[in-house]
Each structure stands twice: as C-alpha cells, then as structure tokens.
C-alpha cells in the first residue's frame, strides 16, 4: 500500500501550492486548486480512501464528471500551509453517479470542506474534459495583484484584456493564443459565477474575475501554473507601462502578431487583431 502523500500527483499538487504562495498570489486562504485524478493514480492509494462519509451537495450539476476523483484545497485553508500538512489543508473527493454530490475520501483530517469555489472548479473541469478529450486535469484559481489591478482600469472586455496582455510580452500570444475571458464582478462561491466562468472556458484557458482573481485550466500542474505566471507577468508589465505613461509610444502591431502566429504555428483569432484608433 502506497502513502497518499508519496503519490506523484499529490506532490505536484503540493508543489504548486507552495509556488503560488511564493508568488504572493495567495494571501490568507485566497485561491484554490483542483486536480482530476487518473484512475491509475487512484488504484495504488485506494486502500487509504474511506468511502463511508456523508455525500454533500456540490451546489451545481456536473454529470460529465460522474464517478471522478479530485484532489482539492480545503475551504478556508491557507496555501502556505499546504506543503506543511497536505492532509489537513487538502482533500480527495469522489463525485457521485449523478454528478450532484461529493464525498470526502481522504484529507481534511481536522475537519472542513473542499473549497467554496468547488462549483466553478467542477463546471470548468466538466467543460475542459469534454473539449480536450480528457487531457485537461488542473483548474487553478489565484489572486494575482496585477491582473486584479487591471480590472479597475481596463474595460471588462475579452478583446481588450487579450490584446493588452498579448502586447506586453512576445511569448503571450504563443502561450495563450485563444485569448482570455473576463467575468464582470459577481458574488463568488455560487452557481451563477460558475456558469459564467465555465461558459468562458468553452473558448479560453484563462478566465479573469473582475476585482477578484484568475482561473486557469491546463493539462498538468506545470502548464497551468506557467499559464497563470505568464498572464500575471504580462499584467505586471502593463501596470508598469500605464504607471509611466497614459499612451504607449510603440507596441506590437496586428501584422506583427500575424507574422508571429505564422512562424510559431499558432492561430490568433482576428477578433483580437483589430486596428486601434
Ligand atoms: P476558499 O478558501 O473557500 O477556497 O476560498 C478562497 C477564494 O479565493 C474564494 O474565491
Ligand atoms: Zn478567490
């Protein structure tokens, strides 16, 4: 029997939490992380899972995730504490056959429940599982300061955020060629914001929550953390630029993005390559 803590997916989960805290994206209990566990990752730890706990309402319906196992951070738990004691700060849950309820099968050893953003995480997972043929497994929510700051000064439009973030670093259109989506301010934790976010996840791997934070989706921990890191770095550059001048003196032009797309073999939707002024 293998220890749950020794499982590579648990170590990847824990490492991301420590790295996210080191980036200053997780004040107090800010942010949350979920990972859709592979069946072959469950088998070696199955004997340590307990299947006798109560079934709790998810708060939304995710039939596309029936029977799946997830690792999730706990609600109110601090990312900085996850590496110290993952069995207290995180959990493994199973989704029921209707996709309506979850059962905690490991972790949260001192009590608690999975993240309050579980509806958003699971609805995003459901969308991404279907869209990517099961390839995407990680949904990551963080509170990076520069992206949040931009939601006070830029129009809350996908086209504007995408174009501005792309312009700030040549790598950006290669890392997120599909762009980023923006959700206006909404009450967090519930089904409504989950529906709005998962709608954007049909099109993007990044959804920005105005005055709150960012959701990213990816295949693995490295890719998903790297996406959050790239978006926030770009936002940081934009905050510096806007702090120095109201108007950029020069920037990357639409045709230059098209040239980049050709050489880097990515498709950049024309809706983001509009002429300015
Ligand atoms: P949880 O502690 O419930 O995960 O909530 C943190 C958060 O960032 C809410 O959006
Ligand atoms: Zn949050």
CA of 32 to the centre of ligand 1 (A): 6
- Both tokens assigned to 246: 């109201």
40, 41, 100, 117: the active-site residue: 117
Extended strands (E) in 74-180: 90-95, 101-107, 138-142
Cβ atoms 273, 191 nearer than 8 A: no
For ligand 1, what atom is nearest to the CA of residue 73?
4
DSSP annotation of 108 reads -
Beta carbon of 115 within 6 Å of any ligand 1 atom: yes
pLDDT attached to residue 2: 76
Mean pLDDT confidence for 224-231: 99
Tokens representing 141 are: 């929510």
Query: What is the number of the ligand closest to the CA of 76?
Result: 1
**How confident is residue 277, by pLDDT bands cut at 50, 70 and 90?**
confident
Report the mean per-residue pLDDT for the chain.
98
Packing angle, helices 158-168 and 221-244, rounded to 10: 90
Query: With a 6 A CB cut-off, is 30 part of the ligand 1 pocket?
Result: yes
The structure tokens listed for 197 are 């976010």
At 11-66, the pLDDT tens digits run: 999 999 999 999 999 999 999 999 999 999 999 999 999 999 999 999 999 999 99
CA of 141 to the centre of ligand 2 (A): 7
Does ligand 1 have an atom closer than 6 angstroms to the CB of 107?
A: no
- Shortest-distance ligand to the CA of residue 78: 1
- Centre a 10 Å sphere on the Cβ of residue 35 and count the other Cβ atoms it contains: 26
Closest alpha carbon to 69 in 41, 34, 94 = 94
Whole-model pTM: value is 0.98
Token digits of residue 238: 């934009």
Q: Residue 2: count other Cβ atoms within 10 Å of its Cβ.
A: 12
Q: Is 87 a catalytic residue?
A: no
29 lines ligand 1 (CB under 6 A): yes
Length of the chain: 277
- 183 confidence band (pLDDT: 50, 70, 90): very high
Q: Whose alpha carbon is nearest atom 4 of ligand 1?
A: 115
**Cβ 23 under 6 angstroms from ligand 1:** no
What pLDDT is attached to residue 1? 55
Looking at the predicted structure, is the pLDDT value of residue 227 above 90? yes
Kindly state if the Cβ of 120 falls inside 6 Å of ligand 1. Answer: no
Q: Which ligand is nearest to the CA of 28?
A: 1
Question: What pLDDT, on a 0 to 100 scale, did the predictor assign at position 184?
Answer: 98
Ligand 1 atom nearest 209 alpha carbon: 10
């Amino acid at each position: 029997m293998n220890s749950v803590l020794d499982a590579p997916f648990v170590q990847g989960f824990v490492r991301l939490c420590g790295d996210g805290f080191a980036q200053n994206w997780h004040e107090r209990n800010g942010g949350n992380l979920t990972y859709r566990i592979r069946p072959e990752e469950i088998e070696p730890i199955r004997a340590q899972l307990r299947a006798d706990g109560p079934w709790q309402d998810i708060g939304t319906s995710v039939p596309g995730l029936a029977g799946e196992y997830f690792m999730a951070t706990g609600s109110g738990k601090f990312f900085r504490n996850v590496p110290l004691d993952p069995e207290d700060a995180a959990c493994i849950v199973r989704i029921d056959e209707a996709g309506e309820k979850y059962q905690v099968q490991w972790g949260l050893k001192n009590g608690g429940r999975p993240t309050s953003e579980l509806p958003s995480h699971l609805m995003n997972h459901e969308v991404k599982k279907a869209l990517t043929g099961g390839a995407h497994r990680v949904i990551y929510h963080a509170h990076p300061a520069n992206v949040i700051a931009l939601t006070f000064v830029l129009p809350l439009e996908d086209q504007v955020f995408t174009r501005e973030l792309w312009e700030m670093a040549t790598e950006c259109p290669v890392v997120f060629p599909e762009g980023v989506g923006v959700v206006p301010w909404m009450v967090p934790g519930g089904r409504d914001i989950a529906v709005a976010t998962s709608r954007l996840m049909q099109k993007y791997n990044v959804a920005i929550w105005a005055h709150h934070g960012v959701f990213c989706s990816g295949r693995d921990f490295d890719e998903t953390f790297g996406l959050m890191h790239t978006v926030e770095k770009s936002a940081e550059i934009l905050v510096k630029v806007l702090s120095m001048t109201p108007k950029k003196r020069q920037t990357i032009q639409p045709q230059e993005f098209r040239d980049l797309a050709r050489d880097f073999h990515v498709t950049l939707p024309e809706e983001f390559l509009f002429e300015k002024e």
